[in-house]
Amino acid sequence: MLAKLMGRSRGQEWDQGLRAPAETEERPREFVLQSPVPVYTRTFVVRSWPNGGEGIWADLLALDVSFRVRFTVVPTAFRWTLHEQTRLRRLMRSVTDVRRMDVAAAARPEEVRAMKAIRRIRDAILYRGLRAVDVWCLVTVESDSPENLEADAARVVAALRARGIEVQELRWSHGPGFGATLPVGDVLLRGARWWPPHTGVVTAAAAAVPADTGYAGDPQGIYIGHDLENHAPVLVDFRREDAELNTNAVVMGASGEGKSTWLKAVTVAGGLLDGWHVVVLDVDGEYRALCQRFGGVWIDLSGRTGCYPDPCRFAPPSGDPGEDAARFDRMLANVAQVFAALLGGSPHETELAAVERATHDLLRAAGVDREDPATWDNARLEAARFSLDAVYHHLKKMAEGGDREARRVVAKAWRAFEGSLRGMFEEPLPPGPMPGRLVVLHLGNPNRSAADAQSLAVRYILAIQAVWEWLRQNRVRGHWTFVVVDEGQRVMQNPILAPQVADLVTTIRKWRGSLFLATNAPGPLWKGGYGEAVWANSALKVIFALEAGQVDELARYADVPPGVLDAIRLQHGTRRAVVRTGVQGWVQVRLSLPAEELELYRTRR
């Protein structure tokens, strides 16, 4: 057989220097040796690998299939030169500009892939100090008939895919592919060099798995830290479009242990780089500098500016018939929610009925008919000056006319419209799509008085109403959205805010989103009620160092392995976190970022 390989095939020479046997035929999808016994071969090139692992060839070896695998590893041709730096900056600028100019547009997939590939190999070389290599891997399947070859090839592809290996069939190149996988074939795979190599690191190639050495996390996604066991970066694919698993996250840790830095690096920087839209509900205003640095939109709902998302306007049509048909009822419910918060969070049904009667009266006067969507026009509402203030003053008229329910509503809501809180509703913000890919809603830091807590509840409800509308608009446009709730220990103990967040976390997956809730006092998450709903519906658990009593609570109420609890107890001062990724179990990570990037995420300045 080897002697025949030195012959010719219709006078054509192979690129790698060998000559095809005399009786061969190269077809678009196979290479055929006609003599002495017909052999049909098909060759594949590996295009992507799993993020590490063991026994990745095990399923293939168990098949009753004849095949050969050939690796070739050479020093990489990639160099981090001025040309590559310029190329990466241009790709990043191109992708960013497309998204900035049209939020509904998507960057070219080939540009996004090239940008990510260059950035990953740059990080391996510059930040991790690893040597890089170029790797080719070809797989040749052999069979005794075209029909069996088709079946065997399909089984091989399926077995490799089950292990996370994606292959691509060669086209009009099965002759060179056949020769390249022979034991005495082309050592450097010169016949396959027109296929781009997989560029990886030396440690990975040495393990015959030309991908990174990590095993935790997903093959692609957002960087959440380096695995402390093998120093490999851990990625999480928060989209997971092929699975129903939610990707909400609870992030907990004592003050100063790295919780805020991790949250900003993953959700803001990581999310924006991975194409997400990001909404931050910021209590203390600590995201302002980061928002400005990333070109985000800062909206101050703290009460100082009087800005608030206006619940008294119709949302623009989203294109979803079911959602658009409910725009009238959503506006009515939003107005009622705000008054419910002003009434203490647990108003009587008759009080809410009075609010809705007043709202209906004003809408009818403005020419808006619930049964006629053509009248759901904000121009009518603006002409009639329909607002929260208008609803309140109409309730006053109803109260003066003897309506006892309206009288109780006016008494409880007086401070918000005529008293010390009246500045909250001076600058309404119209509804619509997100005004940018990063929006930070500054809600203000409440004091301990019940009055301030009530005003915070109103601001949170207004903010969450805006978030819901942005989720609807983003889903129609094909966007994914992160919602970040900071200071969760305050939120989950508030009887008005807790159910709002619990409702969001249980349904956000359907709206192409993920919710991150950060807290330094995790107790409310385990003791029933709304906190338990947040914990149960968050597949990702990110736990930094906790106080001893909090670790004991974690052991008592949550299903955390003893070894993980021991690791948490030893994390003080290390800025490490144990993470349950939702699929692969627990892994301990630590962010490894350049000093200038860490400076962006500092909380205390």
pLDDT in tens, 576-596: 999 987 655 788 899 988 888
Query: Does residue 542 surpass a pLDDT of 60?
Result: yes
**Which distant-in-sequence residues (6+ apart) come within 8 Å of 237 by Cβ?**
218, 219, 220, 221, 222, 247
Q: Any long-range contacts for 83-87 (C-beta under 8 Å, 24+ apart)?
A: 84/118, 84/122, 87/118
Rounded distance between C-alpha atoms, residue 505 and residue 516, angstroms: 9
The predicted model gives 478-504 an average pLDDT of 86
**Among residues 575, 585, 590, 587, which one has the least CA distance to residue 545?**
575
Confidence of residue 8 (pLDDT cuts 50, 70, 90): very low
> Which DSSP letter does residue 186 get?
-
* The pLDDT value given to residue 367: 93
Residue 188, pLDDT > 80, answer: no
- Residue 342: which of 503, 462, 487 has the closest Cα? 462
Q: Which residue has the higher pLDDT, 296 or 302?
A: 296
Question: Which structural domains are found in the chain, ordered by start?
Answer: 4-206 (no CATH), 311-425 (1.10.8.730)
Span 333-379, pLDDT tens digits: 999 989 988 887 678 889 999 999 999 999 999 999 999 999 998 99
pLDDT digits over 149-179, tens only? 999 999 999 988 887 788 888 877 788 888 8
**pLDDT over 70 (residue 515):** yes
- The pLDDT value recorded for residue 4 is 26
Residue 55: pLDDT band (50, 70, 90) is low
Quick one: pLDDT at residue 214? Answer: 33
Is 494 in a helix, a strand, or coil? coil
Residue 431 CA to residue 469 CA, distance in Å, equals: 8
Q: What pLDDT does 196 receive?
A: 59
The pLDDT of residue 10: 33
Beta strands in 443-526 (DSSP E): 481-485, 513-519
Q: What is the pLDDT of residues 205-248, one digit of tens each?
A: 444 444 433 334 555 788 898 887 766 778 888 987 656 667 89
Contact residues for 379 (Cβ-Cβ < 8 A; gap 6+)? none
Confidence grade of residue 202 (pLDDT, cut at 50, 70, 90): low
Q: Which two tokens stand for residue 567?
A: 């690791």
| pLDDT tens, residue by residue, 390-441 | 999 999 999 999 999 999 999 998 988 888 887 788 788 888 889 999 999 9
> How many C-beta atoms lie closer than 10 Å to residue 136's C-beta?
21
Look up tokens 């170029």; give the residue: 134
**433-467 pLDDT, tens per residue?**
899 999 999 887 654 445 566 677 788 888 888 99
pLDDT for the residue 218: 58
**What pLDDT, on a 0 to 100 scale, did the predictor assign at position 463?**
87
Higher local confidence (pLDDT), 386 or 600: 386
What is the pLDDT at residue 9?
A: 34
Whether 103 shows a pLDDT value over 80: the answer reads: no
pLDDT of residue 128: 62
For the whole model, what pTM was predicted? 0.62
pLDDT of 99 higher than 70? no
As a whole number, the mean pLDDT across the chain is 80
What is residue 17's predicted lDDT score, i.e. its pLDDT? Answer: 42
Tell me, letter by letter, the H, E, C secondary structure of 525-547: HCCCHHHHHHHHCCCEEEECCCC
Pairing of strands 577-580, 586-590: antiparallel
